[in-house]
Amino acid sequence: MDIGREVERLYAKAFPEVLKAHGALYVRSGGRIGHKLLLGVPSLIVRTVGAKSGEPRTTVLTYVRDGDDYVVVASKGGAPRNPAWYHNLVKAGTVDVQVGTDRFPATVEALKPGDGDYQRLWDLADANNGGRYAAYQRKTKRPIPVVRLRPA
């Protein structure tokens, strides 16, 4: 048995469950617990409605600050398609953001490679997340969008 591969397999299986538990705790505690994710990476809560369903949606995402703005990356771990939350945010245009216990409305600006501020924000977010976004980009052919959330 290859121990390294077994550890990777277990990590890949367990990590999504850890993220779900973290998100549930963050939301249920009203933001008092869960602002910092594993390894100290900060996370925020985005509330919006489903682009297709119109149903309320709550998503916990890691972020990096850029001045007053919050930057999130629609990586979905390098999956072939953008995450559903990305489509929800883009369609909504304005969302409810919660950072810790602070809640505020924010406007959504989606950026893709080639857009004016994309590369700077990508580099900022990737550095904040330990280079994981660059690794995810290598796994997929789709350009991974960056989303700027600007407090309204």
Q: What is the pLDDT of residues 107-139, one digit of tens each?
A: 999 999 999 999 999 999 999 988 989 999 999
Structure tokens at 43: 């996370």
pTM for this predicted structure: 0.86
Starting at the edge strand that comes first in sequence, how are the strands of the sheet with 94-99 ordered? 56-62, 43-49, 94-99, 102-111, 146-151, 69-73, 64-66
Q: What is the pLDDT of residue 143?
A: 96
Q: Which structural domain, as residue segments, surrounds residue 82?
A: 3-151
The rounded percent of the chain whose pLDDT value lies above 70 is 94
Which CATH number does the domain housing residue 130 bear? 2.30.110.10
pLDDT at res. 49: 96
Count: domains in the chain:
1
Separation in Å, CA 39 to CA 23, 26, 30, 64, 127: 15, 16, 21, 14, 13
Mean pLDDT by runs of 10 across the 152 residues of the chain is: 73 74 84 78 94 94 96 94 97 97 97 95 94 93 97 96
Using CA atoms, how far apart are residues 62 and 129, in angstroms rounded to an integer? 8
> For the chain, what is the mean pLDDT?
91
